[in-house]
Amino acid sequence: MKGNVIKYERDNIDTDVIIPGQYLKVHDYAELALHAMEGLDPDFHSKVKEGDFILSGRNFGCGSSREHAPIALSHSGIKAVLALSFARIFYRNAVDGAFLLPIEIDFDAYSNISDGDELDIDIKTNEIKNLTKNKVYQMKPFSDIIGKIIESGGLFKYKPD
Amino acid sequence: MNITEKILARASGRQKVSPDDVIFANVDKVMMHDVSGPGVIKVFDKLKKQGINVDKLWDPTKVWVAEDHFVPSPDKVSAENIVKLSNFTKNYGIEKHFKYGMGQYGICHTLSHEEALVLPGEVYVGGDSHTNTTGALGSFACGLGHTDVAYVLLNGKIWFKVPHALYFKLNGKLPEHVMAKDFILKIIGDISTEGGAYKTMQFGGSGINEMSVESRLTLCNMTTEAGAKNGIVEPDQKVVDYLTSRGASNISLVHGDDDAEYEKIYEYESSELEPVVAKPFSPENIVIVREAPSVELDKSYIGSCTGAKYEDLVAAATILKGRTVKIRTEILPASISIYKRAMENGLLKIFLDAGVTVGPPTCGACCGAHMGVLAKDEICISTTNRNFPGRMGHIDSQTYLSSPLVAAASAVTGKITDPRDLK
């Protein structure tokens, strides 16, 4: 999975900035995408491209349980969010709804990867190749059930053992 | 096992569970509202297209629906969502639908305890992050997204990773001017907004035993702001009496074992606690009120699942009685039942005499959606739970989080004020 990075060098990117409260009444996925990241980066919609990744710090997606957040990012074209850590409801919404991959990385990868870098992510080998900088990082492997739900294509397609 | 582990073991048909075990827990109660409900309906529509049968719910008697975020409907989209929700509950035979304008309704978390919809020992999930609130009744209460709630509605179960537990022990009864809100803000300031991530936050000790059920609800409500999976208090006679007086029966209490394990124990002395506020833009940004910045406030807001329960309104009334507000002040009781009690016991008159506007139960302003959002550069003191950028309105507005006592005292002076310093 190849894509370019949009980097937000900060912690605690919350669901209110990912998709502000006034849009909670909206359930049209394309319309939600128009307002993704509006609370932090009003230019996001014009710069995001299909297949891009977001890179950010700790506790990404903290706050509300609104599934609008991974939906808005996913329908903007974001395939994965790479972060130092994730808030729990955002994480499970992203996985159970099969909207995008929440990928935990370490601080070295976080600080080394720059805005605009092209990455190639392989969740089978847990390798993240930085094609721009010619470097390789390791992602934190998905836990057993998370890996299986991702492989199945979401919670509804997952068959518990 | 601690109480959370005991509940999850029972719900997953196991003798014992340990932190990090992945289980499928049978769910006892599930809730959705006018934001998560239409999201769930959208998931149902997607499933239908994939050929998955969504004709019947696992058990409509275990489901309830609240209209709280976009009521009264501020626009056509919101009004349509309420219609969608009504059609859904009618089609699927869900009888517990608390409708705006038809008797008892209110914020979903408030209904969970006001209407005794959740009992001790139950696994309760809801399509809202503050579902954690209801753990104060001694249940496992946890917030989920639309896909997960849809899964529960169809299958009656959901996966959990058994959480590690943090135990917060409070020694001694809280002083009169300090509320549960001050205590939980202090905790979040100490452990950070990520300090409880994926974990259980359990509260105990003599200070918790002394607390009312409503105060415990405030504690568990804001465990969400520390990232916790659930907040919980071991249930006691107060919980039984509270629920029984609201029509519950067949209550059986689940308790943790004497040798229950916790990842970490934090200990607090009530006598050392002070009124605090969380400064913009994070609930962990804590300062004691007497050291808070001297800003000119534009608004005081007493509302939400966190800060508009009956005892929150009583606290505000003790300050506002015989005084006049200096800034725009709104009080929105969290449910109609609380509104009625406030009327019967003279609180509404105190508020109106003080110059406050009293509004209907709604989540509207708390999440910056409608019913009183903040303008650019406006500063608000609020009994709600979050103060992220833009949370209550314009991205350049600011919110200070506080207890109802502090919000009321600040309404009187126009500055962030310790209730002890009010003349």
Contact list, A144 vs chain B (CB under 8 Å): 22
- Average confidence (pLDDT) over A141-151: 96
* Nearest of B170, B107, B174 to residue B403 by alpha carbon: B174
d(CA A119, CA B351): 58
- Domain B278-421: CATH superfamily is Aconitase, domain 3 (3.30.499.10)
d(CA A84, CA A113): 13
pLDDT classification of B252: cutoffs 50, 70, 90: very high
Interface contact B369, partner A, CB < 8 A: yes
Query: For a pLDDT cut of 70, what percent of chain B falls above it?
Result: 100
Residues of A with CB under 8 A from a CB of B: 12, 14, 16-17, 20-22, 24-27, 39-40, 58-59, 62-68, 85, 87-89, 92-93, 96-97, 143-145, 154-156, 160
d(CA A106, CA A136): 12
d(CA A80, CA A69): 13
Tell me whether domains B3-268 and B278-421 share a fold.
yes
Q: Indicate yes or no: CB of A17 within 8 angstroms of CB of B367.
A: no
Q: What pLDDT score was predicted for residue B419?
A: 98
Q: Indicate yes or no: CB of B197 within 8 angstroms of CB of A93.
A: no
Tell me how many domains chain A contains. 1
Q: Chain-wide mean pLDDT for chain A?
A: 97
Q: CB–CB of B137/B2 below 8 Å?
A: no
d(CA A30, CA B163): 35
User: In chain B, which residue's Cα lies nearest the Cα of A41?
Assistant: B395
Question: What domain range is A38 assigned to?
Answer: 2-157
Q: What pLDDT score was predicted for residue B100?
A: 98
* Nearest of B275, B267, B283, B302 to residue B179 by alpha carbon: B275
B411 token code pair: 């309404």
Contact list, A93 vs chain B (CB under 8 Å): 145-148
- Average confidence (pLDDT) over B341-357: 98
d(CA B346, CA B344): 6
B280 token code pair: 């913009």
Question: Is a pLDDT exceeding 90 seen at residue B25?
Answer: yes
A95 token code pair: 């996985």
User: In chain B, which residue's Cα lies nearest the Cα of A68?
Assistant: B39
* pLDDT one-digit tens code per residue, B62-99: 999 999 999 999 999 999 999 999 999 999 999 999 99
B252 token code pair: 């059986």
Q: CB–CB of B175/B138 below 8 Å?
A: no
What residue spans of A14-133 are helical by DSSP H? 15-18, 29-34, 44-47, 68-74, 88-96, 107-112
Q: Chain-wide mean pLDDT for chain B?
A: 98
Q: Indicate yes or no: CB of B144 within 8 angstroms of CB of A144.
A: no
* pLDDT one-digit tens code per residue, B141-195: 999 999 999 999 999 999 999 999 999 999 999 999 999 999 999 999 999 999 9
**What amino acid occupies position B367?**
C
* pLDDT one-digit tens code per residue, A97-111: 999 999 999 999 999
Q: What pLDDT score was predicted for residue A10?
A: 96
CA torsion angle B240 B243 B249 B250 (round to 10) = -40
Q: Indicate yes or no: CB of A93 within 8 angstroms of CB of B148.
A: yes
Provide the residue ranges of all domains of chain B, joining segments of one domain with +. 3-268, 278-421
User: In chain B, which residue's Cα lies nearest the Cα of A61?
Assistant: B227
Question: Is a pLDDT exceeding 90 seen at residue A161?
Answer: no
d(CA B366, CA B386): 8
User: In chain A, which residue's Cα lies nearest the Cα of B53?
Assistant: A156
* pLDDT one-digit tens code per residue, B361-411: 999 999 999 999 999 999 999 999 999 999 999 999 999 999 999 999 999
d(CA B308, CA A73): 33
Residue A15: HSE in the Cβ half-sphere, 13 Å Cα cutoff: 32
Residues 75-104 of B with CB under 8 A from A: 75, 77-78, 81
d(CA B308, CA B302): 6
The C-alpha R_g of chain A, in whole angstroms, comes to 15
- Phi and psi at residue B195, to the nearest 5°: -65, -20
Of residues B22, B147, B390, nearest to A17 (C-beta) = B390
Chain B nearest CA to A131, separation (Å): 32
pLDDT classification of A66: cutoffs 50, 70, 90: very high
Q: What pLDDT score was predicted for residue B282?
A: 97
B370 token code pair: 């409608």
**What amino acid occupies position B94?**
I
Q: CB–CB of A98/A19 below 8 Å?
A: no
Across B10-111, where does the E strand assignment appear?
Answer: 22-26, 29-33, 63-66, 96-98
Domain harbouring A72, CATH code: 3.20.19.10
Interface contact B148, partner A, CB < 8 A: yes
CATH 3.30.70.80 fits B3-268, yes or no: no
Which residues contact residue B245 at a Cβ distance below 8 angstroms, ignoring those fewer than 6 apart? Answer: none
Q: What pLDDT score was predicted for residue A160?
A: 86
d(CA B314, CA B319): 9
Q: How far does chain B reach from its first CA to its final CA, in angstroms?
A: 50
Contact list, B147 vs chain A (CB under 8 Å): 67, 93, 96-97, 154-156
